[in-house]
Amino acid sequence: MDPSQSDIAADFLTEADEIVARLGEQLVQLEQAADDGELLNAIFRGFHTIKGGASFLEFAPLVEVCHGVEELFDRLRRGQRRVDAELFDLAQAATDAVAGMLGVLRDGGALPPPEPELLRAIDAALEAPAAGAPAATAMARKDGDTISDDEFEALLDQLQGLAPAPAAESHAPATAASAPAALPTFTAHAARPPCSSGSGTQKPVSADSVRVDTRRLDTIMNLVGELVLARNRLKNLRPRYRDEQLDRAIGTLDGVTARLQTQIMRVRMQPIGRVLSRFPKVARDTARQLGKDVQVQLIGEDTELDKNLVEALADPLVHLVRNGIDHGIEAPEVREAAGKPRAGSLTLSAAQQGDHIVIVVADDGAGMDADVLLAKARQKGLIDAAAAARMSAEEAYQLIFAAGFSTKDVATDISGRGVGMDVVKTRLAQLNGSIAIESQRGVGTRFVIRVPLTLAILPALLIAVADRPYAVPLACVHEVFHFRRDDVRYVDGRDVLDARGETLPLVYLRRWLDLPPGDAGECVVTIQAPGGARLGLVTDQVRGREEVVVKALPSAVRGLAGIAGATIVADGSLALILDAAQLRGA
């Protein structure tokens, strides 16, 4: 492939990935609105566009699959086939196959031939007769499905919003027809789970926008971070010189740097809908596998956060959605017996709160039973009887994040091996985020995730131990106060304080750092650990709030318990960023 075609292939893969992501959501929407002609046209155009680009680039296996599904949806648009559960299973399987092929191409591999079983199923669907119309025969696949360079560039322009989209072709709404012949291996085995979501349309890119390599954005963000460090350094030096003109210049630099930082962060922002839009399909597939009915609602898809966070949140949310359907939402007959609708409800919502994004995954299922969780944890040796007796319901809920914990006795393809939820908590901790659980028996469960808007620049509280600075993410700081040694009590093997009627476990940073006790007055920084529990960090000094630029630790010390990263503070010294979640057990 010559260099010009390599560039075209890169553009094609980028656009095709976006189309496939939309197709998954559009197919789920169409399953609930089978007579929506606009959705039928959109799905047809999606497969047609991918086929055209793949044909130009000579990706024959991709062309073969897309052509068959395109023909099938053309039959639907013309009313020659009806929309049914078997067809949706087939379309979803084809979409997954296309996504897999695009993944192979992104990795630089050669495309294998399409799965013969999938092609046979597509052919069988094309040959199925429709009632009230002449027998529909499968159209011959055309060897000449190729387009010119100009036509392919026009397709890319259309996708990027640089050219008007063609007018929707006339169509007749899908009409009821007799059931088609069963499709091999793609026959539905459960009641069709209804699933609703927000609009699957995507705003077109305006004509004055450009595509920028994300590595360039990362480089610019790193440079802005260095500028922030220099700004902080100058602000720290300013009091020494007491010069009015210097004060004005530094004040101007401070304002410009803050605005530049804000604008660069906005450039890196992406709507979380890029992640959420895949979950109606994930929920549908999981529900069908389990024989359950699930309705999915998406709220706040336009909420924006850093692109790196958008990508990093995908896997944790997949685990939570699958867990909610498997463990939370009951089988239809169980729900009906309990006086609930047969279809369960799963809601994913996102909203910005200050400098954080709050994502909620909620279901209206059976809820959690703290006693069952504690019994399972004791059975697996994760806690002892004394620890179980002291645990509140909220603390018991957090046991589901322990490695190796599962409430199922038999492992399945979806759960039961004690992996998955522990990955969720670990991944969120790496993102300086947290997760809390709210649950009520018979009503449902809510997983509440909090993550910062960006990972690059972090508001932090600077503290000092033995004259060395440390940074605590400000999002987890609750309050700061001084205490007297006489107020400390010893409960359950550790020092605690009575803070307004609440028992506050203490973590002595000097002891944790293996330093001798200090003579200076001590103060406590109360932090909110994941899961809602609080603890007090005993430190020598609190220096105040500062925006810090997060730097990764060297590989030799990466993974140290209680350390999330490092930064350079205003006086030019190195400060380690503390991980509140890991300090809890110190």
* 297-312 pLDDT, tens digit each: 999 988 888 887 887 8
Strand ranges of the sheet holding 534-539, from the earlier edge strand across to the other edge: 477-482, 523-528, 534-539, 502-508, 494-499, 489-491
Q: Which of 315, 344, 318, 321 is nearest to 331 (CA)?
A: 344
> Which strand (E) or helix (H) includes residue 472?
strand 468-473
Instruction: For residue 470, give Cα distances in angstroms to 196, 462, 511, 525, 583.
Output: 47, 6, 15, 12, 13
Q: By mean pLDDT, which of 104-113, 267-276, 438-447 is the weakest?
A: 267-276
Secondary structure (3-state) at 503: strand
Q: Which residues contact 38 (CB under 8 A, 6 or more apart)?
A: 168
**What are the CA-CA distances from residue 237 to residues 240, 245, 253, 413 (Å)?**
6, 14, 14, 60
- Check residue 551 and report its DSSP letter: B
- pLDDT band per the 50, 70, 90 thresholds, residue 343: very high
pTM above 0.85, yes or no: no
Give the Cα separation of 98 and 96 in Å (integer): 5
- What's the gap between Cα 63 and its chain centre? 31
Helix, strand or coil for residue 213?
coil
**Banded model confidence at residue 195, pLDDT cuts 50, 70, 90:** very low
53-57, 369-373, 460-464: the lowest-pLDDT one: 53-57
Q: Which helix (H) or strand (E) holds 483?
A: none
Residue 379's nearest CA partner among 355, 405, 354, 357 is 405
Contact 274, 310 (CB under 8 A): yes
The confidence band for 123, taking pLDDT boundaries of 50, 70 and 90, is confident
Q: What are phi and psi of 157, to 5 degrees?
A: -60, -40
Q: Which domains does the chain have, with CATH numbers?
A: 3-159 (1.20.120.160), 214-270 (1.10.287), 272-452 (3.30.565.10), 457-583 (2.40.50.180)
pLDDT at 364 over 90: yes
User: How many whole angstroms separate alpha carbon 277 and alpha carbon 38?
Assistant: 18
Q: Is the dihedral of CA 311, 313, 319, 322 positive or negative?
A: negative
Rg of the chain's alpha carbons, rounded to an integer? Answer: 28
Residue 154 — pLDDT band, cuts 50, 70, 90?
low
Whole-number Å distance between alpha carbons of 586 and 564: 15
Q: What pLDDT score was predicted for residue 208?
A: 61
Report the DSSP pairing between strands 468-473 and 457-465: antiparallel
Cα→Cα distances 373→125, 317, 325, 364, 494, Å = 47, 22, 18, 19, 25
Over residues 457-505, the pLDDT tens digits come to 778 899 999 889 999 888 788 889 888 777 888 877 788 888 777 788 8
Q: Note the maximum CA span of the chain.
A: 94
pLDDT at 175 over 60: no
Read off the pLDDT band of 350 (50, 70, 90). very high
